[in-house]
Amino acid sequence: MTAVTWTAIDRHSPVPLWAQVLADLRARLASGEFDSGFPTDEELRSQYGVSRQTVREAARRLQSEGVIVRERGRRSSLAGTVLEQPLHTLYSLARTAQDLGLGEHSEVLALDVRAAGAAAGPLGLDPTNEVVHVERLRYVGDEPISLHRSWLPRSQAEGLLDQDLRSGSLYDVLAKSCGIRVTGGWERILPDIPSPELGRLLHLPARRAVLVVDRLALAGSDPVEWRHSVVRGDRYSFRADWSPT
């Protein structure tokens, strides 16, 4: 049987063949065509009538973008859902997942009282002052998405110590149990390569990047939380919107 060449390819175009294949694959992915399975290299080569090297380059680009997962000896598969988070307002992973109709929960790794230490500066405390320390591994569905470590002044957040933090937003619990509502703050976002231990905790392939997010949350003008988060770069993205000034 003669292979059917995909009509998306224009051999007279100055655009490289791999880039044409990549653009068409993105369109097909967006339409949901591959929800039941991504084609093999041989199937793509037959569909597009191009070389194996061409389809491998297109697939490599999709892999580098975190769209597909390629492993030696296995059929390529679609990567998990990427959560897109707008940056123009206060947000939480729980609300983002809920808005997308996805289940979320947390594994509470630590909930205790300790000296403020390095969190003292951002919180405006003495290093020996006590803080409530919360460490949660956050999941969307069955997949770990991020590791959050929070430090909150004990004088304000002691009510968290007897709360169930296995789901939902920490700020919602803080408001209900302590009467403190977060109204603002700032964040700093940096890329990083996690340690092997952290990579295993987040189920990340070797050398896959993460986003490190430092956040200071305020209630009015008072610091109420210093947070250090490590977020999977292949499952979470941030979007900033702006208007002409």
From 160, 153, 168, select the one nearest 217 (Cα to Cα).
Answer: 153
Distances in Å between the Cα of 66 and the Cα atoms of 24, 77, 159, 208 are 17, 11, 40, 9
In this predicted model, what pLDDT tens digit does every residue of 23-42 receive, in sequence order?
Answer: 888 888 877 788 778 888 99
Q: Is the pLDDT of residue 221 over 50?
A: yes
Going by DSSP bridges, is the β-strand pair 83-86/236-239 parallel, antiparallel, or unpaired? parallel
CA distance linking residue 143 with residue 147, whole number of Å: 12
Contact 45, 33 (CB under 8 A): no
- In this structure, of 61-65, 83-87, 168-172, the range with the lowest mean pLDDT score is 83-87
Which residues does 203 contact at the CB level (< 8 Å), separation at least 6? 143, 144
**What value, to the nearest 5°, has the Cα angle with vertex 194 and ends 190 and 198?**
125
Residue holding tokens 């975190």? 66
Total-model pTM: 0.67
pLDDT reported for residue 2: 40
**Mean pLDDT value across the chain:** 86
- In this structure, of 30-39, 55-64, 162-171, 192-201, the range with the lowest mean pLDDT score is 30-39
pLDDT reported for residue 245: 64
Contact 50, 21 (CB under 8 A): yes
pLDDT band at 3 (very low <50, low <70, confident <90, very high): very low
User: Which domains, ranges and CATH numbers included, belong to the chain?
Assistant: 17-78 (1.10.10.10), 83-239 (3.40.1410.10)
Q: Is the pLDDT of residue 50 over 60?
A: yes
Residue 208: Cβ-neighbour burial (10 angstroms; 0-12, 13-18, 19+): middle
pLDDT reported for residue 141: 83
pLDDT band at 5 (very low <50, low <70, confident <90, very high): very low
